[in-house]
Amino acid sequence: MNACDTPIIAAKNQNLYIDVPIRYKLITMTQILQAPSQAHSPTLDTIQMVEETAQKAKGVVSIAELKRRLPRKVNHNTLKVILAYLQRSGKIEFALNGVVWVFMPREDIAMILKKGRTWT
């Protein structure tokens, strides 16, 4: 502690006054609204685990249900980062009730193209 950090104590008319310096940092509204910086990124193992669980789910599954189906616990913020990545990569889409797996492997696409269009 330096000289400015020490409290000044003064007694006046039987009252005790303590002067304590306060330090503050001014934060603007844009800084508050910015997304917090991530302390770490999800591991590849965690991303693959979420990806496999979402792929095995048939139809739309809520984020809470997806979280329950995961083999091990995942932090909610980490799960949100992973789901945003999977959406950007075209593997899932967000529906009103949750998320749905939409990615189609190359083999399936090749089989569909090989069959061609059929009109019945």
Both structure tokens of 91 = 């593997």
Other C-beta atoms within 10 Å of 42: how many? 19
Structural domains in the chain, CATH included, are: 44-107 (1.10.10.10)
Spatial separation of the C-alpha atoms in residues 74 and 92, rounded to whole Å: 18
pTM above 0.95, yes or no: no
User: How do residues 59-108 score in pLDDT, each as one tens digit?
Assistant: 899 999 999 999 999 999 899 999 999 999 999 998 888 899 998 888 88
